[in-house]
Amino acid sequence: MPVFRACLFSLLGCLCFTAGTVLAADDKDRDANAAVQAQGSEDAGRSLSAAAERVFGEAQPRLLQIRTVLKSAQKQASIGSGFLVSTDGRALTNYHVLALHALEPTLYQIEYRAADGSRGSLRLLAIDIDNDLAVVQLDAPSGKPFEAFDFARAAVEGRLVKGERLFSMGNPLDLGFTIVEGTYNGRVDKSYQAREHFTGVLNPGMSGGPTVTGDNRVVGVNVARSIDGDLVSFLAPAEAAVRLLEKARSGGEMDAAAVRGEIGAQMDVWQKAFFAALEAQGFRETALGPYRVAESKADWFNCWAHTNRDEWRKLRILINRSSCNTHTQLFLGNDVYAGGMEISHAYFKSVDLDALQFSRRLRARHPYFPGGASNRYTPFRCHDDFLASGEGSPQRPALRVSWCARGYRDFPGLYDVSVVAVTQDHDREALVSNATLTGVQFGNALAFTRGFLAALKVRRDLD
């Protein structure tokens, strides 16, 4: 079996640290680009490390390490980073850094540690599932104002140019606050989610830390890295962070029920937008033997093809596969993701296999669903059926369909769904199609299934 490898985004594991030193920001009113240019000339005679040293020196008092602490053991369960964005103690981090606390506040609490060694507790104010962001409030120990980061206006307005030198900060692997230099490489093209491509090393524990320009203005929040490539890292965009801060201004502290309710509401909005976008992008008809399938024109699908034609000197069955994946993973809780969609089609044609042998060679199984602990999902419930030809669309062949779904225990209304359809119009030729949706609402899954099945067609007259 070929393995379709694509760029898999892995969330940075949470590790923690505190930070907190403050250097006065440069003139806050200066335009970000101008600032960068000014700084470029300023740094011209100095080494690169001197620039990083200056940035880090300024940023240190605004950096935080965020720890999720298991209350019963008073030991950290996960760690990540964060950064101050207002003088009254608002800070930004990733939602996944404090998800344990957000969903189970009776078991876990969250704390911060600053670079000067000060520490305190945090209150969760707002979350953004799509961008994996969260706003927290620090309890001011002394009452004196905090130092805070500003956002780079160019980044918020989407005017940041590729090649801009950036600095990412955080506390990797609980080793201490660290600064990493890298390059801005624009919005990720093949992603439905808005992600900034940062070429630089992000390590577990740096999640939630800021990535800044040379004048210490935030362009994004560290969120993920590719496990397949080197130095390929991703940031949540600055504009999403700004939007969430705005939203946090009006709300109070969120308890677990509020978090769950908010996730449900956000997923609702997200899915409406996603399926509308999918529809709006349109589909193109792709041929697999006499079969026609609809493939999304959206460029956020990562598609791969594979054939076994060149694998054997004498083939007994021809297998052409194509597979498209959005690689979207909305982090909801530990080991629980939503928003993923994978669609694959495999065309089987017998070379010298008899009808019975051919049917034996068909592989049409539901994919493996990554699970984690069972109590996060219900068991699967399935329905197998034969569907008559010509329904849904006149050219649709008869189908054998197996449809399975499981529920998310912690998030009512969200399901993992897999549908496998095998054409039943020929005994030595078949199309095996599979669609997998994660964290989808039941109604959306049904509507999707309807469209998915209707789009499977056969055109034998062309043979």
Partner 1 sequence: MIWIETLSRNKEVVARVRASGKMATIGRAYDNDVILDDPHVASRHVRVRHGEDGALIAEDLGSRNGIHDESGKRRHAMRLTGDTLLRVGRTWLRVRDNTFRLPGERILPPERRLWPWLLLALTLAIGVRLLGQWQVDIFEHSDPVALYVQPLLGFALLASAWITFWAVLTRLLAGQARTGLHAIIALTGFAVVSVAGSLQTWLSFALSSRALADYGFVPVWLLVAIVFCAHLRVIGARHLLRKAVAVLMLVLCTCLGQWLESRPFSPEEVSDPDFHPEAFYPPSWRIAPPSTEEQFFERLREIEPMIEKLRKDDAEPQKA
Q: Look at phi and psi of residue 207 and say left if phi exceeds 0, alpha if psi is from -120 to 50, else beta.
A: beta
Q: Which of 229, 261, 282, 367 is in the footprint of partner 1 by CB under 8 A?
A: 367
Nearer to partner 1, 269 or 388 (CB): 388
* Residue 351 to residue 434: CA distance in whole angstroms: 23
Place of tokens 């083939």: 315
Q: Look up tokens 């008559």; give the residue.
A: 388
Question: Binding segment for partner 1 among 24-32, 121-129, 166-174, 351-359 (CB under 8 A)?
Answer: 351-359
Assess 140 for contact with partner 1 (CB under 8 A): no
Closest to 407 (Cα-Cα) out of 455, 360, 375, 452: 375
Q: How far is the CB of 105 from partner 1 (least distance, A)?
A: 15
Residue range at the interface with partner 1 (CB under 8 A); choices 20-28, 31-39, 146-154, 422-430 = 422-430
Residue 197 binds partner 1, judged by CB under 8 A: no
Dihedral sign for Cα 238, 239, 242, 248, please: negative
Query: Does 409 help bind partner 1 (rule: CB under 8 A)?
Result: yes
For the bound state, the minimum distance from the C-beta of residue 19 to partner 1, rounded and expressed in Å, comes to: 38
Minimum CB distance to partner 1, residue 351 (Å): 9
Distance CA 10, CA 373 (A): 19
- Cβ atoms within 10 Å of 280's Cβ, excluding its own: 9
Please, which residues bridge with residue 218 across strands? Answer: 151, 212
Nearest-approach distance from CB 132 to partner 1, in angstroms = 24
317 binds partner 1 (CB under 8 A): yes
Question: Half-sphere exposure of 240 toward its Cβ, with a 13 Å CA cutoff?
Answer: 22
- Closest approach of partner 1 to the CB of residue 397, in Å: 9
Q: Is 383 in the site for partner 1 (CB under 8 A)?
A: yes
Q: How many residues does the chain have?
A: 463
- Binding partner 1 (rule: CB under 8 A), the pick from 230, 385, 461, 463 is 385
Judged by CB under 8 A, does residue 309 bind partner 1? Answer: no
Query: CB of 405: closest distance to partner 1 in angstroms?
Result: 6
Strands (E), 351-423: 381-387, 399-407, 415-423
Q: Which residue lies nearer to partner 1 by CB, 134 or 432?
A: 432
460 binds partner 1, rule: CB under 8 A: no
Q: Which of 159, 272, 316, 460 binds partner 1 (CB under 8 A)?
A: 316
Q: What is the DSSP letter of 219?
A: E
Q: List the one residue from 252, 297, 391, 460 that touches partner 1 (CB under 8 A).
A: 391
- Please tell me whether residue 255 binds partner 1 under the rule CB under 8 A: no
3-state secondary structure of 343: strand
Does 368 engage in binding with partner 1 (CB under 8 A)? yes
Alpha-carbon radius of gyration of the chain:
25
CA distances in angstroms from 96 to 206, 221, 287, 372, listed in the order given: 12, 12, 41, 16
For residue 249, state whether it binds partner 1 (rule: CB under 8 A).
no
C-alpha to C-alpha distance for 391 and 386, rounded to whole angstroms: 12
| Of the candidates 263, 258, 212, 257, the residue with the CA atom closest to the CA atom of residue 81 | 212
Distance CA 234, CA 195 (A): 6
Q: Total binding residues for partner 1 by CB under 8 A?
A: 62
| Selected range binding partner 1 among 25-33, 167-175, 237-245, 357-365, rule: CB under 8 A | 357-365
Q: What phi and psi values does residue 149 have, to the nearest 5 degrees?
A: -80, 150
Amino acid at 324: C
Q: Is 337 in the site for partner 1 (CB under 8 A)?
A: no
393: phi > 0 → left, psi -120 to 50 → alpha, else beta; which?
beta
Q: Report the alpha-carbon distance of residue 327 to residue 337 in Å, rounded.
A: 11
Asked if 53 touches partner 1 (CB under 8 A), the answer is no
407 binds partner 1 (CB under 8 A): yes
Our finding on whether 320 is near partner 1 (CB under 8 A) is: no
Instruction: Output the smallest distance, CB 433 to partner 1, in A.
Output: 14
**Residues 442/413, Cβ–Cβ less than 8 Å:** yes
- Cα–Cα distance for residue pair 110/135, rounded to 1 Å: 12
Residue nearer to partner 1 on the CB measure, 71 or 119: 71
Of the candidate residues 159, 187, 297, 360, the single one contacting partner 1 (CB under 8 A) = 360
Work out which of 161, 312, 459, 460 binds partner 1, going by CB under 8 A: 312
Give the span between the Cα atoms of 217 and 332, in whole angstroms: 29
State the nearest-atom distance from the C-beta of 275 to partner 1, in Å: 17
Nearer to partner 1, 195 or 406 (CB): 406
CA–CA separation, 161 vs 415, rounded Å?
Answer: 39
CA distance 399 to 458: 11
For position 335 contacting partner 1 by CB under 8 A, the verdict is: no
Q: Of 5, 379, 462, 463, which lies in the binding site for partner 1, with binding defined by CB under 8 A? A: 379
Residue choice 401, 421, 431, 440 for contact with partner 1 (CB under 8 A) = 401
Binding positions for partner 1, rule: CB under 8 A: 311-312, 314-317, 353, 355-362, 364-369, 371, 373-375, 377-389, 391-392, 398, 400-407, 409, 412, 415, 418, 422, 424-427, 442, 446, 449-450
